[in-house]
Amino acid sequence: MNAIEIHDLHKGFEGFFLKDISFSVPQGTVMGFVGENGAGKTTTIKCMLNLIKKEYGEILLFGKDHVEHELSIKNDIGVVFDDLHVPETLNATQLDKIMRKVFQTWDSDYYFERLAQFKVPKRKKIKELSRGMRMKLSIALALAHHPKLLILDEPTSGLDPIIRDEILDLFLAFMQDETHSILFSSHITSDLEKIADYITLIHNGEILLSESKDALLYEYGIFKGNSEEVNDLPEHAILRTRPGAFGIEALVLKNEVNEAFRLERPSIEDIMLFFVKGSV
């Protein structure tokens, strides 16, 4: 079963469109949702959560329509935005009292365990917390009702590598249960390399690719050479090219290229740059 299924999602604003977005997140996997700022990641996520209304298309969460079954779906998801959107005069203990009334499955013990693990002060007002602490609190809030799906919109942006690593470990622990899934939107591609099973790349409101991370990292290769050398590559093997420091760089299908060509292993960032800035 797919935790998330999106078919032909369309949403238009002045000067920006989400164009026929389609991708799915299989249950038990982590989908890295990657793209530059303004590519449409947050808009897609907002459509999924019905925070903004889609123009057309189908969005299924746990196989159910996201508007028709909105409340039952929202019982099973945890959402983390790039900031904690709760009144700043509240503190973590007050939020526990509130959430206990919102979720039937709210687990206060688990919540306070996470706060202790993250060293988030229980009684300090949110406005007095650092950005890192706010994000950790936001993640504890998203996890404490034991959701099946986490929807994370840039949860690690603006955080230092130590905190990011701690947060990623927590997500990996969440994924120990094979019915759990994560949609992880980020432009920090190294985070996605650590945690994602699949990568979906969005650019200018369009999905450029949606594939398994291993396929991307092991089936693709980068060839660096001059234009003549690149011309020697089989045409069907070349996915994208772009000017490099010493001539031309080409993103190629590894298995379609003779072993005589020396290929480098690409990173998610390389692939993103090839697809966004390279030419076909």
Partner 1 sequence: MVGLILKDLMTIQRQMKAQAFVLIFLLVMAIFMQQSAMLLAVIVFIVTIQAITALSYDEQSKWDKYANTLPISKADIVFSKYILSVMLMIFGLVMALPILFFINFFTNNDITSEFFLTFNLIITSALCLLAVLLPIYIKFGSIKGRIVLIAFCFIPGFLTGMFKEYIPDMTQTFLYLKQYVYLAPLGGLILLCLSSLVSTAIYKRKEF
Least distance (Å) between residue 151 CB and partner 1: 8
Is 103 among the residues that bind partner 1 (CB under 8 A)? yes
Nearest distance, CB of residue 178 and partner 1, angstroms: 24
Number of residues that bind partner 1 (CB under 8 A): 31
Q: Which of 36, 86, 197, 256 binds partner 1 (CB under 8 A)?
A: 86
**Dist CA 213 CA 230 (whole Å):** 25
Residue 62 to residue 228: CA distance in whole angstroms: 50
Instruction: Please give the torsion angle defined by the CA atoms of residues 161, 164, 166 and 170, in that order, rounded to the nearest 10 degrees.
Output: -160
Question: Of the two residues 105 and 255, which places its CB atom closer to partner 1 in the complex?
Answer: 105
Q: Beta-strand (E) ranges in the chain? A: 2-13, 16-26, 30-34, 56-61, 64-65, 77-80, 149-153, 181-186, 198-203, 206-212, 220-225, 238-244, 247-253, 263-264
Angle, CA of 39, 181 and 154, to the nearest 5°: 35
Q: Is 269 left (phi over 0), alpha (psi -120 to 50) or beta?
A: alpha
Residue with tokens 């690690």: 156
* Among residues 19, 28, 57, 99, the one that binds partner 1 under rule CB under 8 A: 99
Q: Is 157 in the site for partner 1 (CB under 8 A)?
A: no
Least Cβ distance, residue 49 to partner 1 (angstroms): 5
How far apart are the C-alpha atoms of 86 and 244, rounded to whole Å?
46
Would you tell me how many other CB atoms lie within 10 Å of the CB of residue 167?
A: 22
45 vs 233 by CB, closer to partner 1: 45
Q: Binder to partner 1 among 24, 27, 50, 190 (CB under 8 A)?
A: 50
CB of 272 to partner 1, least distance (A): 27
Question: Which position among 14, 15, 37, 53 is part of the footprint of partner 1 (CB under 8 A)?
Answer: 53
Smallest distance from partner 1 to CB 259, Å: 50
The two tokens of residue 75 are 């019982």
Residue 88 found at the interface with partner 1 (CB under 8 A): yes
Tokens of 154: 């840039």
Indicate whether 101 belongs to the interface with partner 1 (CB under 8 A). Answer: yes
Q: Nearest distance from residue 210's CB to partner 1, in Å?
A: 24
Nearest CA to 137 among 165, 102, 170?
Answer: 170
Minimum distance between the CB of residue 231 and partner 1, rounded to whole angstroms? 50
Using CB under 8 A, which of 15, 68, 89, 119 touches partner 1?
Answer: 89
Q: Is 52 in the site for partner 1 (CB under 8 A)?
A: yes
| Residue 65 touching partner 1 (CB under 8 A) | no
Q: Could you give the CA distance from residue 275 to residue 280 in angstroms, rounded to a whole number? A: 9
How far, in Å, CA of 149 to CA of 33, rounded? 15
Q: Which residue, 61 or 271, has its beta carbon nearer to partner 1? A: 61
Binding site for partner 1 (CB under 8 A): 46, 49-53, 70-72, 74-75, 77, 79, 81, 83-90, 94, 97-103, 151
